[in-house]
Amino acid sequence: MTTTPRTAVVTGAGRGIGRGLALGLVGAGWDVALLGRSPGPLAAVAAEAAAARPGAHVVTEVADVVDRAAVEAAVARVEAAFAAQGGVGLLVNNAGVIEHQEVDLVRDDPDDVWRVIETNVRGPLLLSHAVLPGMLARGAGYVVNINSGSGHRPSPVYTGYGISKGALARLTTMIDRQYADRGVRVLDVAPGVVVTDMTRAMPLHDDRTQWTPVEDTVALVDAFGSGRLDALSGRFVRAGTDTEESLREVAARVVEADARTLRLVPYGPDDPVA
């Protein structure tokens, strides 16, 4: 178990999965900083959080996750706001976008593909770069990257989204390799298919009847940030399929097999590039 402060930064917190994560973490006893581009939705979520748990320390920060100066300034203000609690204990890199068209690369607009890659990779990179120094100075901290199976499985559409989530998975493994021995833990959490404006606008889900409750993702993020899944740092889990209990049961097997992580699969023990 960890003594890391129960304070969290959630990006993209004004709507969708970010809103659900922020409200869920507040309900689980976390103090939360809501970060997003639009002040109105952030203020509305902050009001919901205050009503759900009076006395919760909830702050809002307006910033675009791809704007380095804005991100660094916002994180500095959040660290100051949570100074009495010990600083930021958990970063949830949730903010993300997807292409405007559900098409293959040739039919897509490269500028739109790059917009997706930039938001989904540069955002978590900048937030992590800004938050990690405080965590390292305190010798403890948690980073959750909201990822997707699209980062591991090729798809006939949404090229930029798949590239970005694969890169995000590599960022997770890099943070784990560089800082695990200094007390920082990091996890890829795929939320499944949650009902949001983004998923409802995707033709891919037009006939979907089963959706993953956002509460399943909240449970995994809370368990990880609370130090109950430390053995799985650097790896990938999926809400709606994995639970805290099931993951704790298989954690030793996952580590022994070096599973649930982005890596090259060799063709055998004599593979020269393994």
The residues assigned a catalytic role are: 161
CB-based contact 69:129 (threshold 8 Å): no
HEC assignment per residue over the chain: CCCCCCEEEEECCCCHHHHHHHHHHHHCCCEEEEEECCHHHHHHHHHHHHHHCCCCCEEEEECCCCCHHHHHHHHHHHHHHCHHHCCCCEEEECCCCCCCCCCCCCCCCHHHHHHHHHHHHHHHHHHHHHHHHHHHHHCCEEEEEECCHHHCCCCCCCHHHHHHHHHHHHHHHHHHHHHHHHCEEEEEEECCCCCCHHHHCCHHHCCCCCCCCHHHHHHHHHHHHCCCCHHHCCCEEEECCECHHHHHHHHHHHHHCCCCCCCCCCCCCCCCCC
Which amino acid, 265?
A: V
